[in-house]
Amino acid sequence: MIRDLLVCFFLLSGGLLSLAAAVGVIRLPDLFTRMHAATKTGTVGVSSVAIAMMIHFGEVTVTSRGILVIAFFLLTAPVAAHMIGRAAYRSGVQLWILTRIDEWKTHGVNEQNDDD
């Protein structure tokens, strides 16, 4: 009974977070905020679904695979988002018009350096 409730909770929260990621990608104004929505909520949504799978099956092999899936997402999504965002900024993708602070501009990210 409690196990089923936990599975339902994690599946529902994972689905809602994935839905929020999809809505964020569609509704947010520029690439950088869209990327933020996709990586943050998408990673937590996938992790929630993996936790639900681990609870439901309760086997060591499934649990170890679920942990590997979560670790993979937590390690790759932030790095990929950072690299995509940096490449987009350096190639001239414009920030949203209401963006007030451009921290990368103050640190000279747009300048071509050989040590990157």
In this prediction, residues 53-80 reach a mean pLDDT of: 94
Q: How many domains in the chain?
A: 1
Specify if 10 maps to a domain: yes
Q: What is the pLDDT of residue 103?
A: 63
What is residue 115's predicted lDDT score, i.e. its pLDDT? 52
Cα separation, 74 vs 95, in Å, equals: 26
Query: What mean pLDDT comes out for the span 86-106?
Result: 75
Task: Identify whether 50 is part of a domain.
Answer: yes
Query: Please, which pLDDT band fits residue 109 given cuts at 50, 70 and 90?
Result: low
From residue 76, alpha-carbon distances to 25, 29, 40, 80, 90 in Å are: 19, 24, 12, 6, 21
- Residue 14 inside a domain? The answer is yes
Query: What distance lies between CA 57 and its chain's CA centroid?
Result: 25
Q: Would 112 be classed as within a structural domain? A: no
Is the pLDDT score of 22 beyond 80? yes
Share of residues in the chain with pLDDT > 90 (%)? 53
Instruction: Please give the mean pLDDT across all residues of the chain.
Output: 86
Phi, psi of 33 (to 5 degrees): -75, -35
Q: Which domain holds residue 96?
A: 2-106
Per-residue pLDDT for 99 more than 60? Answer: yes
Asked whether residue 114 carries a pLDDT value surpassing 50, the answer given is: no
Q: What is the CATH number for 53?
A: 1.10.287
Structural domain contains residue 115: no
| Distance of alpha carbon 67 from alpha carbon 46, whole angstroms | 11
Is 42 inside any structural domain?
yes
Q: Torsion-angle region of residue 95: left (phi > 0), alpha (psi -120 to 50) or beta?
A: beta
pLDDT of residue 112: 54
